[in-house]
């Protein structure tokens, strides 16, 4: 080979190396996010795909091999800042990105567990998160890691260095706003809800340009408030949410109506709609606000381009139990007489499982997914609850002293038949795997008045277990029939997410500290590993170097020990923690 040929070969080798390097460290695109569920060498969205099905087509770890699963590294979040760890990891190009309690972000070498960088948000005094100082994860886009903070900011970090690229104030934390959800990215926009319904805030969903942080649109989720879009830097009115102000609210209560979309959203490209759930109306005392109180305790379908509410479905009109309606709406398809139904399913805190037409929000079917429901006698043919009027907490104004209404025992408790912890759907078994809880509450109403930044409840409560031997139940549910195919009972409440795979497996953790794997068809436990602290995070799986990995965060906390009443006694000795555990099969 002559020198000219050697030079040409060297140049070609350099070009190939650069191309491979660029590919290995490519930025995250809209296409990557859209295809996330079916690509196995990364996890670039919350829910393992924007639909939120939490399903992986991987089969290396399966019902035959999972018994050999081994931990390969553990990463400590370190320091004194622990509390609940509810994050779902994301993985891109061999780097794992997680959030920790108190609005921290970590980049970790996914092969070794070594820390690459850490970012700690500077949180002010006076933040008011209702339900622990948790964070559920980041979004990835381009070369950015984007997450939200407890003082209601969005922060974009350089994925390689952890340095701040942009930071935006979403809302005023002094008024009770906070953000704990993982944002999602759709069509180059990072989209987030807000928390704070216990403080009389106004719920809203906001979209920002993911690259610059410039606001694109805002949609309040309480009827009567104006939405806005921004064009060329100018704020333009985009119509009132719902009917006229106060149409389904009395007086001025719509001005502090709650309905916070605090869990974040999903997206389905087939119908080009965002799906966000909204929280409780404020205050909890429903006698102060007669009416359906739109759009609280609802699922909203939102146009991702301008924030318009396309349709809504209210699971608990005139909510008087803090049942919310934030739980994820998961898109899935099924066939009836050869026709494909574009459906979406949600397991509500109120104890009912709903299947909706995701194109228009029409009710298809609904059924109880917990054993005990007392607040409603069932659902009508439109999916509206048939209230048991005797089981609504009493009006304090009707009591002798005006200080406390009559107490009722309601099931589920306000922490819900299912709370925030995401369920999973398998296209193989056509079943949903729903982490649920069996508990009830004594609840009563009290007088209250709105004061900015102060708790705005007007209710008291005590939560109790219904059964002595279990509270948590992982259920496999057929959404076409309402049939429960199998169940796993857990002594403590379940509070973490679920993952299902084509390997006929369902992964879930429990507060006792175990990561568990179940046979997806039968519910048989195939694997258990004790992580040392309660698992309330959401597991993921991906491939690297030809091997399949499983990762989950471990760290007990969240709402149960803070709000759990008598139930909190059941978990009071559980140790806090802050770890990421990663597993694979031995070679």
| DSSP collapsed to 3 states, 421-466 | CCCEEECCCCEEEEEEECEEEEEEECCCCCCCCCCCCCEEEEEEEC
- Report, as an integer, the average pLDDT of 251-263: 95
Cα 95 from Cα 110, distance rounded (Å): 5
Please write the tens of the pLDDT for every residue from 229-240.
999 989 999 999
Q: In degrees rounded to 5, what are phi and psi of residue 491?
A: -60, -50
pLDDT at 275 exceeding the cut of 60: yes
- Report, as an integer, the average pLDDT of 486-508: 98
pLDDT at 293 exceeding the cut of 70: yes
> DSSP label at 264?
-
Give the whole-number percent of the chain exceeding pLDDT 70: 96
pLDDT for 564: 80
pLDDT at 262 exceeding the cut of 60: yes
Cα 231 from Cα 236, distance rounded (Å): 7
74-93 burial by CB neighbour count: b if 16+ within 10 A, else e? ebebeeeebbbbbbbbbbbb
Summary mean pLDDT of the chain: 94
Strand, helix or coil for residue 38: helix
- What pLDDT band is residue 195 in, cutting at 50, 70 and 90? very high
**Strand pairing of 498-501 and 55-56?**
parallel
pLDDT for 6: 46
Side-chain-side CA neighbours of residue 50 (13 Å):
26
Query: In Å, how far are 197, 260, 319, 347, 484 from 279, measured between CA atoms?
Result: 7, 5, 10, 14, 27
pLDDT at 485 exceeding the cut of 90: yes
pLDDT for 244: 87
pLDDT for 80: 65
Please write the tens of the pLDDT for every residue from 360-395.
999 999 999 999 999 999 999 999 999 999 999 999
- What pLDDT band is residue 2 in, cutting at 50, 70 and 90? low
Q: Give residue 392's region: left, alpha or beta (phi > 0; psi -120 to 50).
A: beta
Please name the CATH architecture into which domain 30-584 falls: 8 Propeller (2.140)
Please write the tens of the pLDDT for every residue from 16-35.
333 333 334 789 999 999 99
| Active site residues per annotation | 322
Q: Which residues pair with 167 in a beta bridge?
A: 155
> DSSP label at 43?
B
- Report, as an integer, the average pLDDT of 466-478: 97
pLDDT for 1: 56
Cβ neighbors of 440 (< 8 A, separation 6 or more) are 372, 374, 409, 410, 411, 412, 413, 463, 464, 466
Give the neighbor-by-neighbor strand order of the sheet with 339-347.
330-336, 339-347, 352-357, 363-368
- Report, as an integer, the average pLDDT of 537-541: 98
Please write the tens of the pLDDT for every residue from 129-179.
998 999 999 999 999 999 999 999 999 999 999 999 999 999 999 999 999
Nearest 5°: the CA angle 489, 491, 493 is: 90
Which residue in the block uniquely carries the two structure tokens 């007007």? 458
pLDDT for 18: 35
Reported in sequence order, the residue ranges of 183-264 that DSSP labels E, i.e. its strands, are 184-186, 189-192, 204-209, 215-220, 226-231, 234-240
Spell out the alpha helix ranges (H) of 173-242. none
Tokens found for residue 3: 């020198």
The secondary element (H helix, E strand) that includes residue 347 is: strand 339-347
């Amino acid at each position: 080979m002559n020198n000219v040929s050697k030079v040409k070969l060297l140049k070609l080798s350099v070009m190939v190396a650069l191309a491979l390097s660029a590919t290995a460290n490519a930025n995250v695109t809209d296409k990557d996010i859209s295809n996330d569920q079916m690509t196995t060498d990364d996890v670039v969205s919350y829910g393992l795909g924007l639909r939120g099905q939490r399903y992986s087509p991987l089969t290396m770890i399966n019902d035959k091999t999972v018994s050999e699963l081994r931990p390969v590294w553990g990463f400590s979040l370190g320091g004194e800042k622990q509390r609940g760890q509810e994050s779902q990891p994301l993985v891109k190009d061999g780097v794992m990105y997680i959030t920790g309690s108190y609005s921290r972000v970590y980049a970790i070498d996914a092969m070794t567990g070594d820390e690459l960088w850490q970012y700690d948000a500077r949180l002010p005094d006076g933040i008011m998160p209702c339900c622990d100082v948790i964070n559920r994860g980041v979004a990835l886009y381009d070369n950015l890691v984007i997450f939200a903070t407890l003082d209601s900011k969005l922060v974009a970090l350089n994925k390689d260095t952890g340095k701040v690229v942009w930071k935006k104030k979403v809302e005023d934390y002094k008024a009770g706003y906070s953000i704990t959800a993982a944002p999602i990215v759709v069509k180059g926009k990072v989209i987030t809800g807000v928390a704070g319904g216990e403080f009389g805030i106004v719920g809203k969903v906001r979209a920002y340009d993911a690259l610059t942080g410039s606001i694109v649109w805002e949609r309040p989720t309480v009827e009567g408030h104006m939405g806005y879009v921004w064009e060329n830097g100018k704020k333009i009115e985009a119509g009132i949410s719902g009917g006229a102000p106060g149409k389904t609210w009395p007086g001025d209560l719509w001005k502090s109506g709650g309905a916070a979309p605090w869990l974040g959203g999903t997206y389905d490209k087939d119908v080009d709609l965002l799906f966000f759930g909204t929280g409780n109306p404020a205050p909890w005392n429903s006698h102060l606000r007669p009416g359906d109180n739109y759009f609280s305790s609802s699922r909203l379908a939102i146009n991702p381009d301008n924030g318009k509410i396309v349709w809504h479905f209210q699971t608990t009109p005139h909510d008087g139990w803090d049942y919310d309606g934030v739980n994820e709406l998961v898109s899935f398809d099924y066939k009836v007489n050869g026709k494909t139904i574009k459906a979406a399913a949600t397991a509500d805190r109120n104890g009912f499982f709903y299947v909706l037409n995701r194109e228009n929000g029409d009710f298809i079917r609904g059924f109880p997914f917990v054993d005990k429901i007392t607040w409603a006698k069932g659902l009508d043919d439109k999916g509206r609850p048939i209230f048991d009027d005797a089981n609504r907490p009493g009006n304090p104004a009707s009591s002798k002293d005006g200080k406390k209404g009559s107490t009722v025992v309601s099931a589920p408790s306000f922490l819900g038949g299912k709370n925030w912890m995401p369920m999973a759907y398998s296209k193989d078994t056509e079943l949903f795997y729903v982490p649920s809880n069996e508990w009830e509450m004594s609840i009563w109403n009290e007088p209250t008045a709105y004061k900015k930044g102060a708790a705005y409840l007007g209710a008291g409560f005590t939560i109790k277990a219904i059964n002595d031997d279990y509270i948590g139940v992982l259920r496999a549910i057929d959404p076409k029939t309402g049939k429960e195919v199998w169940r796993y009972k857990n002594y403590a409440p379940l509070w973490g997410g679920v993952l299902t795979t084509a390997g006929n497996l369902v992964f879930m953790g429990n507060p006792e500290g175990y990561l568990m794997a179940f046979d997806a068809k039968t519910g048989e436990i195939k694997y258990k590993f004790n992580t040392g602290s309660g698992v309330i995070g959401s597991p993921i799986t991906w491939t690297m170097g030809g091997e399949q990995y499983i990762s989950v965060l471990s760290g007990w906390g969240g709402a149960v020990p803070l709000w759990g009443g008598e139930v909190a006694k059941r978990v009071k000795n559980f140790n806090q923690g802050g770890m990421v555990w990663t597993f694979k099969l031995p070679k």
